[in-house]
Each structure stands twice: as C-alpha cells, then as structure tokens.
Structure 1
Amino acid sequence: NNFVNITIFDNYKKYIKEILLREAYKCFIPDSLEEEETIHIFITQRLISDLEKLPSIKHWEALIKKKTINFVIRSN
C-alpha cells in the first residue's frame, strides 16, 4: 500500500506536526515490527527530541506518557 490515511480529530489539531512526523517515522518500520511496543517508545522519544523547540511538545509528551502509563498498567 502506497498510501497512509490519517484522521485527526478537532481536539488534536494543535498536535498536527507531532502526529504527521510520528506517522512519517512509522512508514519506515517493517510490518513485522509494527506492533512492537519498544518501537513505539523509540519513535515517541525521537519525536520529542526532534521537536523539542515546539511550544506544544510538552503537552504532547504528557499526553503520550499518560497513554503509555495506562497501557503498562493494563497489561499487568
């Protein structure tokens, strides 16, 4: 498939740069590794590092960390 469809809801439009870069990074991940949690963590850390000067990145980081913490708690 040569297309990526991304749906961004109104309440996440302020994070459009973060979302688009994350999805671009994910395009380089082989399908066999797509579900690996460590890959998602790496992408998140890379994105935060690359966009550290964006005013919205701290809010994005908090949002993602909350999601990751919830995932870890639920998986135990």
Structure 2
Amino acid sequence: MSSLWEFISRKRNREVLGWLGGGLVVAATGLWAAIVYFFPPQKSVEPRPASVQADCGGVAIGGSVFGASITGGNTTNSDCSSKPK
C-alpha cells in the first residue's frame, strides 16, 4: 500500500492520472453517443384494439370498460331470424 501512496504523492503522476481519467470520461461519453445514434431504441408498438363481434341477441364489449350497464331486450328491426325453442 505504501508503494501506491508513493506513486500518487508525485505531482507528475497525479497529472498523468488526471489526464487519463478525463480522457476515459470523454471516450465513454462519445461511445455512448455513437451507440445511441447508430442503434436507437425500438419504438414500442401499441396493441391494436381487439375486433369484437356479437351475434343476434348477443352483447360484445372490447377494451377497458368501467361502470357500464348493459340492458337486454328483444331485437327490433334486425335481420336476425328467430330461432325455434
């Protein structure tokens, strides 16, 4: 450990270490900028809404639905044929 302190205690060695440290910071920053420029992050693709369909007399809801009420009843003015029971 004393050899490390002896090395650092010399003014010339501290100056060289300062220049090397600064150079490493500049190089790392430049490398990061190049990586981000040449390999940009992938754009997120938003999911498409689901295709929702209902048959005659059915109910279909897609997406996030909160506080909705559904009232059922007879279909009027529809082209659905009545099914025998």
TM-score by length of 2: 0.29
CA radius of gyration, larger in:
2
Higher helix residue share: 1
TM-score by length of 1: 0.31
Of the two structures, which has the highest relative contact order with CA contacts closer than 8 Å and spacing of 6 or more? Answer: 1
